[in-house]
Structure 1
Amino acid sequence: MKLHCDVEVVSRHLPCLGLRNRGKGVRAVLSVCQQTPDCRAQSGAGGKRGSAHPAFLLVATLKDKRGTSYELKDNIEQFFTKFMDEGKATVRLKKPPVDICVSKANSSALKCFLSALRLAHKGCDVDAQLSTPTPVKTSEFEKFKTKMAITSKKDYPLSKNFPYSLEHLQASNCELVRVDMRMLCLKNLRKLDLSHNHIKKLPATIGDLIHLQVLNLNNNRLESFSVALCQSTLQKSLRSLDLSKNKIRALPVQFCQLQELTDLKLDDNELIRFPFKIGQLTNLRFLSAARNKIPFLPSEFKNLSLEYLDLFGNTFEQPKFLPVIKLQLPLTLLESSARTILYKRLPYDSHLIPFHLCQDLDTAKICVCGRFCLNSFIQGTATMNLHSIAHTVVLIDKMGGTEAPVTSYFCSLACYVNSSDTLK
């Protein structure tokens, strides 16, 4: 029986000598072993196998693959299992006087392993669960790596899979033209860095990485960020997204469903607009979209609360004096129905109404009064000082400006007139 975990062996004599333990475990393989048949023959012991050849605990690390052994029969003073559900436990031995501190273990495997230790301590026969004391292979430690960094094409693994326990994976400067499907099997992945490659499209299955918090796609050839990704489990996990130095012209309105985002980088793309519901990203604190082609900011941009904002080098236009009027009176049946569905928050999907109508509802504009409008509206522009939504603002141009044009929509003439003093 084996257990893969982090281990720290702490001598209880250290405090007496005025010394401290390191306080940090190393990756190890714990085994409950029995003596080999050769050793048994040499010992000449008889009786029951469980009592004549007691089991022992073998602690093997990458530096000591043969491991250090500890007797178990009548040699365990105490078990500390308060945090066993978190993969942590401590086994206190009598001789030598050490504490074997276990962490980062699978909780189910840890429970089974401690049960085997209890049986061995009592001298019970547990041969069915025991292994022979053989040196641990290096590959056993590699299987449980949590971090891997690949920074060149020649180092990229082609003939073997990635360790399934990886939490951080970097594969930069590897000339990848697509996301390796083997990466999408790494269910523990929290950080994925695929920067400086040639990736043109992202598979929707990236959304199956339920723990993914950081995604770095800087300096690739992406042209879009799909709706499927925006509606995946990334909605609940993704915190940081770097799409800088790609060829993205627009992000879908569903992008604003990634509501756990705190850090978003969109520099050096070909963006012509932000998603107009960007104000729904209530957790966003760092936004950088320098050197794009954005002429106006959406009205919901005012709802953001940022610590850092960089919009330098965009093609902001001067607000237009005359509004764009697209009012339809009386309202069409489509417009009236859409406004009612959205105002009353009625559920809808492609199983209930045609798909193109779902798209229309998803992209409906929000009036300054809070109501919705589809095709009947007045569009006006105003300027906004970016310091009103961000603590730190990078100047939007070389002239020292911090004011940017904002587009606003009005569902009726009355709403427009009431807000006309804020428009130019």
Structure 2
Amino acid sequence: MRLHCEVEVVSRRLPSLGLRNPGKGVRALLSLCQQPAPRSPPRPPAGRARAPRPACLLVSTLKDKRGTRYELKENIEQFFTKFVDEGKATVRLKEPAVDICLSKANSSNLKSFLSAVRLAHRGCDVETPFSPLTPVKTSEFEKFKTKMVITSKKDYPLSKNFPYYLEHLQTSYCGLVRVDMRMLCLKNLKKLDLSHNHIKKLPATVGDLIHLQDLNLSNNHLESFSVALCQSTLQKSLRSLDLSKNKIKALPVQFCQLRELTVLKLDDNELIRFPMKIGQLTNLQFLSAARNKLPFLPSEFKNLSLGYLDLFGNTFEQPKVLPVIMLQTPLTLLESSARTILHNSRIPYGSHIIPFHLCQDLDTAKTCVCGRFCLNSFIEGMTTMNLHSVAHTVVLVDNMGGTEAPIISNFCSLSCYANSCEMLK
């Protein structure tokens, strides 16, 4: 029985000698083996079977293919399995006084392996077959690859799975029309590059890749980015997203829940608007949305603080002279309630509390220049803003050398509009 994982062997005696442990795990192959038989074993008494040889744990690495052997029978002081579902565990041995720390293991394989080790410690029969006490071949470590780059159709694996421990996977120019479900089993994946394919839709299960930080979907046929992905674990992990050269017309309001994003590329799509709440992407540093169909920017765009911004080649409109007045007097019960809920962040809401369509209304509420919110009662005006006010480096928006773009401003009341009317042209 064997287990691929990362291993760090920590000696508990080093601190007492004033020494430190290396503190870094290495790729390893753990094998459950039987101790070699003595050269001249004593014969068992007549009618009694020979006692089975005790089991041992063999830890092999690329640098030490012969491995280090540890006895198991009555030699385990404690198991630490609190994070076994994350592929982590520690086996504390009595002699030598070391902790064998395991990580980046397949959780189900790890549980089976620890069960067998526990039986070996108790001296019970282990049902799974023992591995041979022989040096490990280099090919055995191929299953532990962390990076795979495939850039042609002929190299794409059809008959075998991707290595489970991959952290970086690129499959470009492979003619994929959908995301291969085998990729979604790679729980250690941090970077996924599916650029230059023919993918039209992303499955919601992409959001189950809890460690995914970099997602490249450029040069595909995507028409949307689903709400389910915006509300998945990608909210906490995704740092870089490349959706350039697709057919996306709009991103959902919930897109702005991906608040860990630092890089967002949207060039060469068919975008007609940014998400209204784009100002919530407070970690965003790089934003590129060149050659789209943006007529103006949403009011919350001015809340961004970017290092780089490229909006070249969009169909920006000239600011309108007259504002759009949608004020309601008196305010409707819906409007008044919505403003109260949104103004008080301590009031929670969700589809399990109020109807789903009301949640959508609250999610798409407009932000007034005063910081309050409005739903259906507002004044809408358009001004221009210098993009240098939100970004350190700005690519010119046109061939005329301009760095200004039209931006929508919303006002929740006539008084807010009157106080800010000098901003409007």
Q: TM class, shorter-chain normalised? A: 0.7 to 0.9
CA shift in 2, pair 1:44/1:279, >3 Å: same
1:154 is displaced (CA, Å) by: 1.6
Output the CA distance in 1 between the equivalents of 2:294 and 2:263: 19
Give the RMSD, CA atoms, in angstroms. 4.1
**CA shift in 2, pair 1:33/1:112, >3 Å:** same
Match of 1:163 in 2: 163
Measured against aligned partners, the alpha-carbon deviations of 1:208-228 in whole angstroms (never above 9, x if no partner) come to 222222211111111111112
Q: State the match for 1:397 in structure 2.
A: 398
Aligned to 2:130: 131
**1:340/1:92 Cα in 2 relative to 1: closer, same or farther (>3 Å)?**
closer
Amino acid at match of 1:244: S
8 Å contact 1:281–1:304 — kept in the other structure? Answer: yes
Partner residue, 1:174? 174
Q: How does 1:33-52 map to 2 (within 5 A)?
A: 33-34=33-34, 43-46=40-43
3-state DSSP class of the match of 2:144?
A: coil
Q: 1:284 and 1:255, CA in 2 relative to 1: closer, same or farther beyond 3 A?
A: same
| Contact persistence 2:384–2:406 (CA under 8 A) | yes
For 1:4, what is the secondary structure of its paired residue? strand
Contact map agreement 2:33 2:133 (CA 8 A) in 1: no
The change in CA–CA distance for 1:371 and 1:103 in structure 2 (over 3 A counts) is same
- Kindly report which structure 2 residues correspond to 1:366-405, keeping only aligned pairs within 5 A, or say none: 366-405=367-406
Query: Contact conserved, 2:116 with 2:126, CA < 8 A, in 1?
Result: no
Structure 1 residues 132 and 88: CA distance shift in structure 2, 3 A:
closer
The answer on 1:299 being equivalent to 2:299 is yes
* Residue identity in the other structure for 1:256: C
1:52 offset after TM fit, Å?
10
Aligned residues of 1:192 and 1:212 also touching (Cα < 8 A): yes
Higher mean C-alpha deviation, range 158-167 or range 231-240 = 158-167
CA distance in 1, matches of 2:331, 2:23: 71
Listed one character per residue, the Cα deviations across residues 108-163 of structure 1 (whole Å, up to 9, x for unaligned) are 7798899899x6xxxx9677488242655777534433322222222222223323
Name 2:264's counterpart in structure 1: 264
Structure 1 position 409 matched with structure 2 position 410: yes
The offset of 1:317, in angstroms, is 2.1
Question: 2: CA distance between counterparts of 1:141 and 1:409?
Answer: 60
Letter in 1 for 2:416: C
294-303 vs 160-169, which moves further: 160-169
Task: Work out whether residues 61 and 67 of structure 2, in 8 Å CA contact, stay in contact via their aligned partners in 1.
Answer: no
**Aligned partner of 1:419: which letter?**
S
Asked if structure 1 preserves the Cα contact closer than 8 Å seen for 2:119 and 2:125, the reply is no
Distance 1:116 1:390, change over 3 A: farther
Equivalent residue for 1:206? 206
Tell me the distance in 2 between the aligned counterparts of 1:272 and 1:50: 79
Range that drifts further, 234-243 or 327-336: 327-336
Q: What per-residue deviation string (whole Å, max 9, x for no partner) do you get for residues 17-59 of structure 1?
A: xxxxx999763323343356xx65x544457999996766645
Shift of 1:8: 9.1
Partner of 1:13: none
**Residue pair 2:287, 2:309 contacting (<8 A) in 1 also:** yes
Q: Structure 2 stretches of 5 or more lacking a match?
A: 10-21
SS at match of 2:187: coil
Superposed, which structure 2 residues align to 1:20-419 within 5 Å? 27-34=27-34, 43-46=40-43, 58-60=58-60, 67=66, 104=103, 106=105, 128=126, 131-133=130-132, 141-345=141-345, 346-419=347-420
Shift of residue 278, structure 1, vs aligned partner: 0.5
Contact 2:119 2:126 in 1 (8 A): no
Q: Compared with structure 1, are the counterparts of its residues 180 and 168 closer, same or farther at alpha carbon in structure 2 (3 Å cutoff)?
A: same
2:349 & 2:52 partners in 1: Cα distance?
72
| Separation (CA, whole Å) in 1 of partners of 2:165 and 2:171 | 16
Q: In structure 2, do the counterparts of structure 1 residues 69 and 256 end up closer, same or farther at CA, with 3 Å as the change threshold?
A: closer
Aligned residue type for 1:183: M
Measured after TM superposition, the shift of residue 206 of structure 1 is 1.5
TM-score, normalization: structure 1? Answer: 0.78
**Post-superposition shift, 1:365?**
0.9
Alpha-carbon distance in structure 2 between the residues aligned to 1:152 and 1:351: 47
For the residue of structure 1 that corresponds to 2:406, the secondary structure is strand
Structure 2 vs 1, CA of residues 290 and 92 (structure 1 numbering), >3 Å: closer, same or farther? farther
| Residues in 1 aligned to 2:55 and 2:117: alpha-carbon distance in whole angstroms | 13
Q: Is the 8 A contact 2:34 2:133 kept in 1?
A: no
Q: Which amino acid aligns with 2:406?
A: P
**Which stretch of the first structure deviates more once superposed, 183-192 or 99-108?**
99-108
Distance 1:45 1:190, change over 3 A: same
SS at structure 2 position matched to 1:359 = helix
Distance 2:123 2:69 in 1: 17
Deviations 1:373-404 (A, max 9, x none): 22222111122121222122222222222222
Supply the AA of the counterpart residue of 1:411.
Answer: C
- Residues 132 and 348 of structure 1: CA distance in aligned 2, closer, same or farther (over 3 Å): closer
- d(CA) in 2 for partners of 1:102, 1:347: 42
The Cα of 1:199 is off from its aligned counterpart by 0.7
Matching residue's letter, 2:408: T
Counterpart-to-counterpart distance in 1, 2:23 and 2:194: 34
Structure 2 CA distance, aligned partners of 1:71 and 1:59? 8
What's the offset of the Cα at 1:327? 2.2
Residue 72 of structure 1: CA displacement? 5.8
- Confirm or deny: 8 A CA contact 1:6 1:28 kept in the other structure: yes
